[in-house]
Chains A and B, each alone.
Chain A
C-alpha cells in the first residue's frame, strides 16, 4: 500500500486497489469457512469513532475487526463528552492515550480524517466524512462489480440519484475511473453538483437514457437529512421521474446489474420488485463489505512503524 491511512480513494493508486481486491478475495474465503476468524491483528486495538449515525458501516467495520482478532472499542458522539464541548483532536488524543493503534472515523465534516492524519500518529480509516468521501464503500462497490461482471475495466457504470449530498458518489467516481470504467451521473439537475463534468464523467438528466447506456446502475438514496432546502417538489414526484422499477428495467434491451449502498428508501429511488430481484446485488455488497474492510485494515496495519 502506498499510504498509511485510508482517507479517500483519491489518494490510492490503481495498484493499491488491486492489492486490496486480491487480499479481500482471500478474506471472503475466510469468512465463508466454519471458523471465520484469523489471528492477524491480535495485538492491534482499533477504535471506531462515529460522530454520525451508521448501522451498516459500523457493524461491518466491527465484524471485520473482530474477524481479524483485533481488540475493538466503540465510541459514538451522541453519548460522549463531545456534547460537553471537547474538540475532535482532544477526543481522539484521549482515545490514543489508551494505546489504540488505529482509528476508524465517521464525521459530518468533510476533511475531518485528513485533519486528524496531520496531527496524530495512528492509522486512520475514513468511514465517511460529510459529503466528501466514503472510500470503503467505493471499494466494496467496485469489488462487487468485479465479482459480478469479472472486471471493472471497460464497464459502464451510472450513479443515479442524490449526487450532490453523496460521499459514496465521489468515492465511486474516483475508484471506477482508476480501474478503467466509464462513469455517468444521473439525477435531477438540482441534485447534481455544479462542474461535476470536470471530473470526466458523463452527465444525464433522463434516468431511462442512463439505464440504456450502462452495464451497472448504482442507485443512491435521497439524503433528506442533508437537504435543508427543497431540491425537488415531493418524494412522489422524484419517485415518478427517477424511481427504478422492474417494468422500467424489463423495457431495456439488456439486463443490467443494480446496486445500492443502503439504506434503501423502498418505493422512492428503488421499487421492491427491483431491490429483491436477481438483478440486484445489494446483499452481496454487504457481504463483500466485511471482506474488503478486513483487507483494508489488514494492509494498513501490516506495515511496521
Chain B
C-alpha cells in the first residue's frame, strides 16, 4: 500500500462544518466555552474549527494552544527529547467548559498528558475532546473523544498523516493513511 486518502479537501470541509454544528448544539453561543488546540498538530485543526465557528455564530470564540510535552508519560523512555512547543492561553479556564482539539486520536496518552497540563491553568467546569480522525481499537487509557470526524480501522504499523494547506509545500487539506516505514 502506498498511501490511502482518508479525507480529501471537499469531505474535510463538510466534516469540519458538521463538527462545528455539533459543538454549537452543545455550547450554543460559546458564552462559557473555550477551545484549546493541542500542540503540535492539533492547533491547525483548532484554528479551522474556530474560524468556521465564528462564521456560524457571528462572535469571537476564545482559542488557546496547549503544549503537554512536560507532562508526557514517556519521559526517559525515548531515544531523543521531545521538543516543547508554545503554550498560549490568554484567558482563564477556571469554571469554563473546555473543548480540547487534536487531529488524530490514537492511544489517548497525549490527551491524558494534556489534561494534566490544562489543570495547571485552573479547574474547568467540564472538558470535552474533539478529534478529526479516531483510530479504532488502539486506546491505552479510558479516554474517549466526544466529537469524531471519522472513525478508521488502522494497524499499528500505519500512520495517519494530516496535511493542512499553508504548511510548507502543501497546497491542499488532505488526510492520508500510510505505512510507517515509508
Contacts and interface: CB of A to CB of B under 8 A. Distances in A.
Interface in A143-190: none
Contacts of B33: none
B76 interface: yes
Given A19-B83, A304-B78, A298 B121 contact: no
Given A22-B83, A23-B84, A38 B78 contact: no
B69 interface: yes
Interface residues of A, number: 25
Nearest to A33: B120
Contacts of A34: 120-121
Nearest to B122: A34
A303 B80 contact: yes
Interface in B66-109: 67, 69-71, 75-87
Contacts of B67: 26
Contact of B116 (A26, A39, A303): A39
A143 to B, nearest CB: 15
A26 B80 contact: no
A305 to B, nearest CB: 8
Interface string A13-43: 0000001001101100110011101111101
Contacts of A22: 83-84
Contacts of A44: 76
Given A19-B83, A22-B84, A38-B71, A302 B78 contact: yes
A117 interface: no
Contacts of B116: 39
A299 interface: yes
A45 to B, nearest CB: 13
A26 B85 contact: yes
A33 B76 contact: no
Nearest to A43: B76
A19 B81 CA distance: 10
Contacts of A304: 76-79
A1 interface: yes
Contact of A39 (B70, B77, B121): B70
A298 B76 contact: no
Interface string A283-305: 00000000000000011011111
Contacts of A43: 76
Given A35-B121, A302-B82, 9 more contacts: A26-B86, A39-B71, A40-B70, A43-B76, A302-B76, A303-B80, A303-B81, A304-B77, A304-B78
11 contacts: A23-B81, A26-B70, A29-B86, A29-B87, A33-B121, A35-B120, A37-B120, A39-B71, A301-B76, A302-B75, A304-B79
**What 8 pairs between A and B have smallest CB-CB spacing?**
A38-B70, A302-B81, A26-B84, A35-B120, A40-B70, A304-B76, A299-B81, A23-B84
